[in-house]
């Protein structure tokens, strides 16, 4: 598998993996919540999205802090926490594409939802190609993202989705690009390391090398 992933240039993987970076996904998730809130009868749907996305993001955060601060992970499975790119990408993209296709038929909305999951899975593959995460971390991140997106759909099942034109959602996606450089990752890793060190009272955060040496 590593040989197949190496066929694609590293620069291309770096560019693609940004589609799951928190620098892009967090503003988009916020814009989804805002647009749902201001739409007609959309406040309940907005709250459902905030609940589902917030719970998923909280689990990602806790898993990373637990490892960085206290070394809680699995050497056997090479697991140091959920792949954040994979989990957030698989949480946000299905919802965004589903909402963008709200004016279409149920079948098309289902296809859009599935396309979002496929995109999330592809983001996970990019994390493997860049050696940023292990297989277990990517799989866990993907499953968490599926649970978040399905959880949102279940919470909002009795509410009709807002139906703005697709180009409104496209515009919402492009808004974050006005304030940042595509491909430039968010400094979340360094921030989490600082927080973990202070919470745990240690000199440096745990690393994957520490896990493998146990």
User: Could you report the average pLDDT of every consecutive run of 10 residues in the chain (214 residues)?
Assistant: 64 88 90 84 86 97 96 93 97 90 83 95 95 95 97 82 68 68 73 92 90 76
Does the pTM surpass 0.95? The reply is no
In-domain check, residue 13: no
In-domain check, residue 5: no
Distance CA 114, CA 180 (A): 28
Looking at residue 10, its pLDDT comes to 77
In-domain check, residue 190: yes
Looking at residue 181, its pLDDT comes to 65
Looking at residue 98, its pLDDT comes to 87
Distance CA 105, CA 110 (A): 9
Looking at residue 1, its pLDDT comes to 52
In-domain check, residue 7: no
In-domain check, residue 124: yes
In-domain check, residue 171: yes
Q: In 10 A of CB 170, how many CB atoms?
A: 11
In-domain check, residue 128: yes
Domain count, the chain: 1
- Count how many residues are written for the chain: 214
In-domain check, residue 112: yes
CB-facing half-sphere around the CA of 101: CA atoms within 13 A: 18
């Amino acid at each position: 598998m590593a040989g197949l992933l190496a066929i694609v240039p590293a620069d291309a993987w770096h560019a693609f993996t940004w589609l799951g970076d928190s620098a892009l996904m967090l503003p988009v998730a916020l814009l989804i919540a805002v647009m749902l809130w201001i739409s007609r009868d959309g406040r309940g749907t907005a709250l459902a999205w905030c609940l589902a996305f917030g719970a998923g993001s909280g689990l990602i955060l806790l898993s990373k802090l637990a490892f960085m601060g206290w070394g809680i992970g699995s050497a056997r499975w090479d697991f140091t926490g959920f792949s954040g790119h994979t989990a957030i990408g698989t949480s946000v993209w299905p919802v965004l594409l589903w909402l963008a296709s709200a004016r279409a038929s149920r079948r098309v909305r289902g296809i859009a939802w599935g396309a979002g999951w496929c995109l999330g899975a592809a983001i996970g593959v990019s994390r493997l190609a860049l050696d940023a995460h292990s297989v277990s971390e990517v799989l866990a991140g993907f499953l968490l993202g599926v649970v978040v997106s399905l959880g949102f759909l279940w919470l909002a099942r009795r509410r009709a989705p807002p139906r703005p034109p697709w180009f409104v959602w496209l515009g919402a996606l492009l808004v974050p690009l006005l304030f940042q450089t595509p491909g430039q990752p968010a400094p979340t890793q360094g921030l989490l390391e600082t927080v973990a060190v202070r919470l745990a009272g240690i000199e440096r955060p745990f690393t994957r090398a520490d896990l493998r040496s146990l």
